[in-house]
Protein backbone atom coordinates (compact mmCIF):
# COMPACT_ATOMS: atom_id res chain seq x y z
CA UNK A 1 0.00 0.00 0.00
CA UNK A 2 1.45 3.36 -1.11
CA UNK A 3 1.65 6.14 1.35
CA UNK A 4 0.95 9.75 0.39
CA UNK A 5 4.59 10.65 0.56
CA UNK A 6 5.68 7.86 -1.83
CA UNK A 7 2.95 8.80 -4.33
CA UNK A 8 4.12 12.39 -4.33
CA UNK A 9 7.71 11.26 -4.90
CA UNK A 10 6.66 9.03 -7.83
CA UNK A 11 4.66 11.84 -9.42
CA UNK A 12 7.57 14.25 -9.07
CA UNK A 13 9.97 11.77 -10.72
CA UNK A 14 7.59 11.20 -13.64
CA UNK A 15 7.17 14.93 -14.11
CA UNK A 16 10.95 15.39 -14.04
CA UNK A 17 11.44 12.69 -16.70
CA UNK A 18 8.80 14.28 -18.95
CA UNK A 19 10.31 17.73 -18.46
CA UNK A 20 13.81 16.41 -19.28
CA UNK A 21 12.53 14.82 -22.48
CA UNK A 22 10.90 18.08 -23.54
CA UNK A 23 14.11 20.03 -22.80
CA UNK A 24 16.23 17.55 -24.76
CA UNK A 25 13.81 17.72 -27.69
CA UNK A 26 13.87 21.50 -27.64
CA UNK A 27 17.67 21.60 -27.49
CA UNK A 28 17.90 19.14 -30.36
CA UNK A 29 15.46 21.15 -32.44
CA UNK A 30 17.28 24.41 -31.62
CA UNK A 31 20.67 22.91 -32.49
CA UNK A 32 19.29 21.66 -35.79
CA UNK A 33 17.88 25.10 -36.50
CA UNK A 34 21.24 26.69 -35.59
CA UNK A 35 23.12 24.34 -37.96
CA UNK A 36 20.66 25.06 -40.76
CA UNK A 37 21.01 28.79 -40.08
CA UNK A 38 24.82 28.59 -40.14
CA UNK A 39 24.76 26.60 -43.36
CA UNK A 40 22.38 29.10 -44.89
CA UNK A 41 24.61 31.98 -43.79
CA UNK A 42 27.66 30.12 -45.10
CA UNK A 43 25.98 29.60 -48.45
CA UNK A 44 25.24 33.32 -48.56
CA UNK A 45 28.88 34.29 -47.98
CA UNK A 46 30.43 35.75 -51.19
CA UNK A 47 33.00 33.51 -52.84
CA UNK A 48 35.82 34.51 -55.18
CA UNK A 49 38.47 32.55 -57.04
CA UNK A 50 41.37 33.04 -59.45
CA UNK A 51 41.29 30.81 -62.55
CA UNK A 52 44.75 30.41 -64.08
CA UNK A 53 44.86 31.21 -67.81
CA UNK A 54 48.59 31.46 -68.47
CA UNK A 55 51.95 31.48 -66.69
CA UNK A 56 55.45 32.30 -67.94
CA UNK A 57 58.82 32.14 -66.18
CA UNK A 58 61.82 33.97 -67.57
CA UNK A 59 65.05 35.73 -66.83
CA UNK A 60 64.83 39.19 -65.34
CA UNK A 61 66.67 41.69 -67.64
CA UNK A 62 70.15 42.81 -66.57
CA UNK A 63 70.40 46.43 -65.47
CA UNK A 64 73.42 48.67 -65.96
CA UNK A 65 75.23 51.30 -63.95
CA UNK A 66 73.26 54.48 -63.46
CA UNK A 67 69.89 52.77 -63.09
CA UNK A 68 67.92 52.55 -59.83
CA UNK A 69 68.22 48.77 -59.77
CA UNK A 70 71.19 46.45 -59.67
CA UNK A 71 71.34 42.79 -60.50
CA UNK A 72 68.95 40.36 -62.12
CA UNK A 73 67.04 37.22 -61.32
CA UNK A 74 63.59 35.89 -62.22
CA UNK A 75 60.43 37.32 -63.69
CA UNK A 76 57.20 35.31 -63.31
CA UNK A 77 54.05 36.46 -65.09
CA UNK A 78 50.50 35.17 -64.52
CA UNK A 79 47.20 35.75 -66.23
CA UNK A 80 44.02 34.99 -64.23
CA UNK A 81 40.29 35.17 -64.78
CA UNK A 82 38.57 36.51 -61.67
CA UNK A 83 35.37 34.70 -60.73
CA UNK A 84 33.03 36.20 -58.14
CA UNK A 85 29.34 36.62 -57.38
CA UNK A 86 29.58 40.41 -57.37
CA UNK A 87 31.80 43.37 -58.23
CA UNK A 88 34.63 44.06 -55.80
CA UNK A 89 36.84 47.00 -54.89
CA UNK A 90 40.18 45.57 -53.66
CA UNK A 91 42.37 47.86 -51.57
CA UNK A 92 46.18 47.70 -52.06
CA UNK A 93 46.58 46.15 -48.59
CA UNK A 94 44.43 43.20 -49.74
CA UNK A 95 46.88 42.31 -52.54
CA UNK A 96 49.75 40.25 -51.12
CA UNK A 97 52.13 37.46 -52.15
CA UNK A 98 54.56 35.18 -50.33
CA UNK A 99 57.49 33.50 -52.12
CA UNK A 100 59.17 30.85 -49.98
CA UNK A 101 61.89 28.25 -50.57
CA UNK A 102 65.53 27.23 -50.18
CA UNK A 103 68.00 28.77 -52.65
CA UNK A 104 71.63 28.23 -53.69
CA UNK A 105 73.98 28.56 -56.67
CA UNK A 106 77.09 26.41 -57.07
CA UNK A 107 78.95 29.12 -59.03
CA UNK A 108 78.93 31.54 -56.12
CA UNK A 109 81.15 31.31 -53.02
CA UNK A 110 78.98 30.99 -49.91
CA UNK A 111 76.00 29.62 -51.86
CA UNK A 112 76.99 25.96 -52.04
CA UNK A 113 74.47 25.10 -49.32
CA UNK A 114 70.79 25.89 -49.61
CA UNK A 115 69.58 28.85 -47.54
CA UNK A 116 65.95 29.74 -46.96
CA UNK A 117 64.52 32.83 -48.59
CA UNK A 118 61.04 34.01 -47.63
CA UNK A 119 59.67 37.19 -49.18
CA UNK A 120 56.34 38.68 -48.12
CA UNK A 121 55.49 41.11 -50.90
CA UNK A 122 52.68 43.65 -51.07
CA UNK A 123 51.54 45.79 -53.97
CA UNK A 124 50.60 48.72 -51.71
CA UNK A 125 54.13 50.13 -51.70
CA UNK A 126 56.55 51.27 -54.38
CA UNK A 127 59.43 49.89 -52.28
CA UNK A 128 60.22 46.20 -52.98
CA UNK A 129 60.52 43.71 -50.14
CA UNK A 130 64.06 42.59 -49.28
CA UNK A 131 65.44 39.72 -47.24
CA UNK A 132 69.02 38.85 -46.28
CA UNK A 133 70.34 35.53 -47.60
CA UNK A 134 73.94 35.96 -46.35
CA UNK A 135 74.18 38.81 -43.78
CA UNK A 136 77.54 40.59 -43.66
CA UNK A 137 78.95 44.01 -42.80
CA UNK A 138 81.19 43.61 -45.86
CA UNK A 139 79.04 44.67 -48.82
CA UNK A 140 81.05 42.48 -51.21
CA UNK A 141 80.07 39.37 -49.20
CA UNK A 142 76.51 40.34 -48.34
CA UNK A 143 73.72 38.65 -50.31
CA UNK A 144 70.10 39.77 -50.49
CA UNK A 145 67.02 38.92 -52.48
CA UNK A 146 64.50 41.56 -53.43
CA UNK A 147 60.95 40.94 -54.58
CA UNK A 148 58.34 43.17 -56.18
CA UNK A 149 54.69 42.53 -57.09
CA UNK A 150 52.57 44.26 -59.71
CA UNK A 151 48.87 43.53 -60.33
CA UNK A 152 46.70 45.20 -62.94
CA UNK A 153 43.47 44.59 -64.79
CA UNK A 154 43.68 43.85 -68.48
CA UNK A 155 41.78 46.51 -70.50
CA UNK A 156 38.24 45.42 -71.30
CA UNK A 157 36.63 45.55 -74.72
CA UNK A 158 33.38 47.17 -75.71
CA UNK A 159 31.33 47.13 -78.89
CA UNK A 160 31.67 50.38 -80.82
CA UNK A 161 29.68 51.45 -83.87
CA UNK A 162 31.65 52.40 -86.97
CA UNK A 163 29.70 54.18 -89.69
CA UNK A 164 30.79 53.42 -93.26
CA UNK A 165 28.64 55.25 -95.75
CA UNK A 166 25.03 54.36 -94.94
CA UNK A 167 25.86 51.08 -93.18
CA UNK A 168 26.65 50.43 -89.55
CA UNK A 169 29.28 47.91 -88.66
CA UNK A 170 30.41 46.87 -85.21
CA UNK A 171 33.87 46.13 -83.99
CA UNK A 172 35.58 45.49 -80.68
CA UNK A 173 37.18 48.69 -79.41
CA UNK A 174 39.37 48.72 -76.30
CA UNK A 175 38.34 50.84 -73.36
CA UNK A 176 41.38 52.96 -72.58
CA UNK A 177 42.47 52.65 -68.94
CA UNK A 178 45.22 54.66 -67.32
CA UNK A 179 47.95 52.66 -65.52
CA UNK A 180 47.00 51.86 -61.94
CA UNK A 181 49.16 53.29 -59.16
CA UNK A 182 50.12 50.85 -56.36
CA UNK A 183 48.18 53.10 -53.94
CA UNK A 184 44.94 52.96 -55.93
CA UNK A 185 42.23 50.35 -55.29
CA UNK A 186 41.56 47.68 -57.90
CA UNK A 187 37.95 47.47 -59.13
CA UNK A 188 37.13 44.06 -60.60
CA UNK A 189 34.03 42.09 -61.49
CA UNK A 190 33.39 38.46 -62.36
CA UNK A 191 35.12 37.66 -65.64
CA UNK A 192 37.80 40.37 -65.30
CA UNK A 193 41.25 39.38 -66.53
CA UNK A 194 44.04 40.09 -64.04
CA UNK A 195 47.74 40.27 -64.87
CA UNK A 196 50.29 39.59 -62.13
CA UNK A 197 54.05 40.14 -62.38
CA UNK A 198 56.59 39.01 -59.76
CA UNK A 199 60.26 40.01 -59.96
CA UNK A 200 62.89 38.25 -57.83
CA UNK A 201 66.22 40.04 -57.86
CA UNK A 202 69.53 38.64 -56.61
CA UNK A 203 71.69 41.43 -55.14
CA UNK A 204 75.19 40.12 -54.52
CA UNK A 205 78.00 42.38 -55.72
CA UNK A 206 79.78 40.54 -58.56
CA UNK A 207 77.35 37.65 -58.80
CA UNK A 208 73.89 39.16 -58.94
CA UNK A 209 73.80 40.28 -62.57
CA UNK A 210 74.18 36.86 -64.19
CA UNK A 211 73.85 34.34 -61.37
CA UNK A 212 70.27 34.11 -60.11
CA UNK A 213 69.35 32.28 -56.93
CA UNK A 214 68.23 28.76 -57.80
CA UNK A 215 65.77 26.50 -56.04
CA UNK A 216 62.20 25.27 -55.89
CA UNK A 217 59.79 27.86 -54.47
CA UNK A 218 56.19 28.09 -53.40
CA UNK A 219 54.06 31.06 -54.38
CA UNK A 220 50.92 32.15 -52.52
CA UNK A 221 48.86 35.02 -53.89
CA UNK A 222 45.97 36.78 -52.16
CA UNK A 223 43.69 39.25 -53.94
CA UNK A 224 40.84 40.19 -51.63
CA UNK A 225 39.19 36.91 -50.57
CA UNK A 226 40.60 34.99 -53.57
CA UNK A 227 43.70 32.83 -53.09
CA UNK A 228 46.09 31.07 -55.46
CA UNK A 229 48.92 28.62 -54.69
CA UNK A 230 51.66 27.55 -57.10
CA UNK A 231 54.97 25.66 -57.12
CA UNK A 232 57.85 27.30 -59.00
CA UNK A 233 60.78 25.19 -60.21
CA UNK A 234 63.39 27.97 -60.40
CA UNK A 235 66.29 25.50 -60.26
CA UNK A 236 67.64 25.76 -63.83
CA UNK A 237 69.78 28.74 -64.75
CA UNK A 238 68.49 30.75 -67.75
CA UNK A 239 70.69 30.84 -70.86
CA UNK A 240 72.91 33.92 -71.13
CA UNK A 241 72.61 34.20 -74.92
CA UNK A 242 69.14 35.70 -74.55
CA UNK A 243 70.94 39.02 -73.94
CA UNK A 244 70.95 41.29 -76.98
CA UNK A 245 74.46 41.50 -78.46
CA UNK A 246 74.07 44.74 -80.45
CA UNK A 247 75.06 47.95 -78.66
CA UNK A 248 72.52 50.62 -77.81
CA UNK A 249 71.31 52.81 -80.68
CA UNK A 250 73.40 55.96 -81.01
CA UNK A 251 71.88 59.49 -80.96
CA UNK A 252 70.60 60.79 -84.30
CA UNK A 253 72.92 63.84 -84.25
CA UNK A 254 75.97 61.54 -84.15
CA UNK A 255 75.02 59.46 -87.19
CA UNK A 256 75.74 59.81 -90.90
CA UNK A 257 73.62 58.19 -93.62
CA UNK A 258 76.24 58.70 -96.39
CA UNK A 259 78.50 55.84 -95.27
CA UNK A 260 77.52 52.60 -93.58
CA UNK A 261 77.95 48.82 -93.62
CA UNK A 262 74.37 48.13 -92.55
CA UNK A 263 71.68 50.68 -93.40
CA UNK A 264 70.53 53.24 -92.61
CA UNK A 265 73.56 55.00 -91.04
CA UNK A 266 76.73 54.74 -88.95
CA UNK A 267 78.46 56.52 -86.07
CA UNK A 268 80.36 59.59 -87.34
CA UNK A 269 83.37 61.22 -85.61
CA UNK A 270 84.72 64.59 -86.89
CA UNK A 271 87.96 66.05 -85.57
CA UNK A 272 87.16 69.68 -86.53
CA UNK A 273 83.89 69.89 -84.56
CA UNK A 274 84.23 70.34 -80.78
CA UNK A 275 82.62 67.43 -78.94
CA UNK A 276 82.48 65.22 -82.04
CA UNK A 277 86.08 63.98 -81.82
CA UNK A 278 85.00 61.09 -79.57
CA UNK A 279 81.99 58.94 -78.70
CA UNK A 280 81.46 56.58 -75.79
CA UNK A 281 78.82 53.86 -76.01
CA UNK A 282 76.67 53.32 -72.89
CA UNK A 283 77.99 50.76 -70.42
CA UNK A 284 77.07 47.10 -70.92
CA UNK A 285 76.81 44.44 -68.22
CA UNK A 286 79.07 41.39 -68.57
CA UNK A 287 79.46 38.16 -66.69
CA UNK A 288 82.75 37.99 -64.82
CA UNK A 289 85.40 35.65 -66.25
CA UNK A 290 83.41 35.06 -69.45
CA UNK A 291 85.01 34.76 -72.89
CA UNK A 292 83.62 37.58 -75.06
CA UNK A 293 83.88 38.67 -78.69
CA UNK A 294 83.89 42.35 -79.71
CA UNK A 295 83.13 43.06 -83.38
CA UNK A 296 82.88 46.32 -85.35
CA UNK A 297 83.66 47.93 -88.72
CA UNK A 298 85.47 51.26 -89.26
CA UNK A 299 86.19 53.61 -92.17
CA UNK A 300 88.84 56.37 -91.93
CA UNK A 301 88.54 59.24 -94.42
CA UNK A 302 91.63 59.93 -96.61
CA UNK A 303 93.57 62.94 -95.34
CA UNK A 304 92.78 62.24 -91.68
CA UNK A 305 95.62 63.38 -89.47
CA UNK A 306 96.30 62.23 -85.99
CA UNK A 307 95.52 58.93 -84.34
CA UNK A 308 92.23 56.97 -84.48
CA UNK A 309 91.74 54.67 -81.52
CA UNK A 310 89.23 52.31 -79.93
CA UNK A 311 89.30 51.53 -76.20
CA UNK A 312 87.27 48.96 -74.26
CA UNK A 313 87.28 49.53 -70.48
CA UNK A 314 86.13 47.17 -67.76
CA UNK A 315 84.63 48.12 -64.38
CA UNK A 316 83.68 46.61 -61.09
CA UNK A 317 80.36 48.24 -60.33
CA UNK A 318 78.38 47.52 -57.15
CA UNK A 319 75.56 49.40 -55.40
CA UNK A 320 78.09 51.14 -53.15
CA UNK A 321 81.37 51.25 -55.10
CA UNK A 322 82.69 51.76 -58.62
CA UNK A 323 86.24 50.96 -59.75
CA UNK A 324 88.09 50.96 -63.08
CA UNK A 325 89.90 47.66 -63.78
CA UNK A 326 93.01 48.97 -65.53
CA UNK A 327 94.30 45.47 -66.22
CA UNK A 328 91.16 44.73 -68.24
CA UNK A 329 91.49 47.62 -70.72
CA UNK A 330 91.85 46.79 -74.45
CA UNK A 331 93.32 49.49 -76.75
CA UNK A 332 93.25 49.26 -80.53
CA UNK A 333 94.96 51.52 -83.11
CA UNK A 334 92.80 51.95 -86.22
CA UNK A 335 95.21 52.43 -89.13
CA UNK A 336 93.57 51.32 -92.39
CA UNK A 337 92.49 54.37 -94.42
CA UNK A 338 89.97 54.67 -97.24
CA UNK A 339 88.02 51.38 -96.94
CA UNK A 340 85.73 49.60 -94.52
CA UNK A 341 87.73 47.32 -92.22
CA UNK A 342 86.33 44.69 -89.87
CA UNK A 343 87.81 44.20 -86.39
CA UNK A 344 87.20 41.15 -84.19
CA UNK A 345 88.75 40.90 -80.75
CA UNK A 346 88.25 37.96 -78.39
CA UNK A 347 88.94 38.60 -74.71
CA UNK A 348 87.98 37.26 -71.32
CA UNK A 349 86.11 39.53 -68.97
CA UNK A 350 88.07 40.28 -65.83
CA UNK A 351 87.38 38.09 -62.79
CA UNK A 352 85.90 41.14 -61.04
CA UNK A 353 84.24 42.81 -64.03
CA UNK A 354 80.54 43.65 -63.95
CA UNK A 355 80.35 46.10 -66.87
CA UNK A 356 82.32 47.35 -69.88
CA UNK A 357 82.36 50.57 -71.91
CA UNK A 358 83.55 51.19 -75.48
CA UNK A 359 84.95 54.49 -76.77
CA UNK A 360 86.17 55.68 -80.18
CA UNK A 361 88.35 58.78 -80.53
CA UNK A 362 90.41 60.89 -82.96
CA UNK A 363 93.48 62.18 -81.09
CA UNK A 364 96.03 64.91 -81.79
CA UNK A 365 94.56 66.69 -84.81
CA UNK A 366 91.78 68.92 -86.05
CA UNK A 367 91.45 67.35 -89.49
CA UNK A 368 89.86 63.97 -90.06
CA UNK A 369 86.76 61.79 -90.00
CA UNK A 370 85.98 58.22 -89.05
CA UNK A 371 82.81 56.12 -89.36
CA UNK A 372 81.96 53.16 -87.07
CA UNK A 373 79.25 50.55 -87.78
CA UNK A 374 77.83 47.17 -86.67
CA UNK A 375 79.25 47.20 -83.15
CA UNK A 376 78.42 44.08 -81.12
CA UNK A 377 79.58 42.35 -77.96
CA UNK A 378 78.56 38.75 -77.26
CA UNK A 379 79.65 35.77 -75.14
CA UNK A 380 81.67 33.12 -76.95
CA UNK A 381 80.58 30.15 -74.84
CA UNK A 382 77.05 28.76 -74.78
CA UNK A 383 76.12 28.48 -71.12
CA UNK A 384 73.89 25.48 -70.69
CA UNK A 385 71.27 25.67 -67.94
CA UNK A 386 72.79 24.66 -64.62
CA UNK A 387 71.13 23.92 -61.33
CA UNK A 388 72.33 24.40 -57.76
What is the Cα–Cα distance from 96 to 313, expressed in whole angstroms?
43
146-184 pLDDT, tens digit each: 999 999 998 754 434 444 444 444 444 444 444 456 678
Strand order in the sheet with 369-379: 255-256, 266-270, 369-379, 291-300, 341-348
Q: Where on the phi/psi map is residue 191: left (φ > 0), alpha (ψ -120 to 50), or beta?
A: left
Radius of gyration of the chain (CA): 34
Q: In angstroms, rounded to a whole number, what is the distance separating the alpha carbons of residues 87 and 85?
A: 7
Q: Look at residue 198 and tell me whether its pLDDT is greater than 80.
A: yes
Q: What is the mean pLDDT of residues 309-333?
A: 88
Query: How far is residue 157's CA from residue 175's CA, in Å, rounded to a whole number?
Result: 6
Which tops the pLDDT comparison, 208 or 86? 86
Give the span between the Cα atoms of 8 and 15, in whole angstroms.
11
Asked whether the predicted pLDDT for residue 320 surpasses 60, the reply is yes
Flag whether pLDDT at 190 surpasses 80.
yes
Give per-residue pLDDT as tens, 277-288.
Answer: 999 998 888 888
307 vs 138, more confident: 307
Contacts of 88 (CB under 8 A, 6+ apart): 48, 187, 188, 189, 224
DSSP assignment, residue 240?
G
pTM (two decimals): 0.61
Each residue's pLDDT tens digit, 218-258: 999 999 999 999 999 998 876 654 455 667 788 999 999 99
Distance CA 253, CA 250 (A): 9
CATH topology of domain 252-379: Jelly Rolls (2.60.120)
> Residue 62 in contact with residue 286, Cβ under 8 Å?
no
To the nearest whole percent, how much of the chain has pLDDT over 90? 44
The DSSP code for 37 is: H
Q: Write out the E strands in 301-367.
A: 307-317, 322-334, 341-348, 355-363
Domain spans, the chain: 48-238, 252-379
Cα angle, residue 386 at apex, residues 385 and 388 outer, rounded to 5°: 150
d(CA 119, CA 131): 7
| Percent of the chain topping pLDDT 70 | 72
- Indicate if the pLDDT at residue 4 is higher than 50: no
**42: which residues sit within 8 A by CB, 6+ positions away?**
none
Instruction: Please give the mean pLDDT across all residues of the chain.
Output: 79
Integer Cα distance of 134 and 111 in angstroms: 9
Q: Is residue 113 scored above 90 in pLDDT?
A: no
What confidence tens digit (pLDDT) does each residue in 124-150 have?
766 678 999 989 888 777 888 999 999
Amino acid sequence: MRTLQSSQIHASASYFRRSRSIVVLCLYSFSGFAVDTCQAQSSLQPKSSLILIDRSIGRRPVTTRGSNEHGSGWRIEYCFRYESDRKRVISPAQIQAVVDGFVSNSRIPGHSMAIRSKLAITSSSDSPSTTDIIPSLDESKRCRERGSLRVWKKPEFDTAIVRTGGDDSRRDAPIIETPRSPQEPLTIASGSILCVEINLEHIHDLHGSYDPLLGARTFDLTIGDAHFHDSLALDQEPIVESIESAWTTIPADRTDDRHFVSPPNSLHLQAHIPGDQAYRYPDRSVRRGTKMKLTYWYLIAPGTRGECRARLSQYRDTPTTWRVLDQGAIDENLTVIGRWTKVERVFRADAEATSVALEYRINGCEVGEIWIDDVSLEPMIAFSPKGP
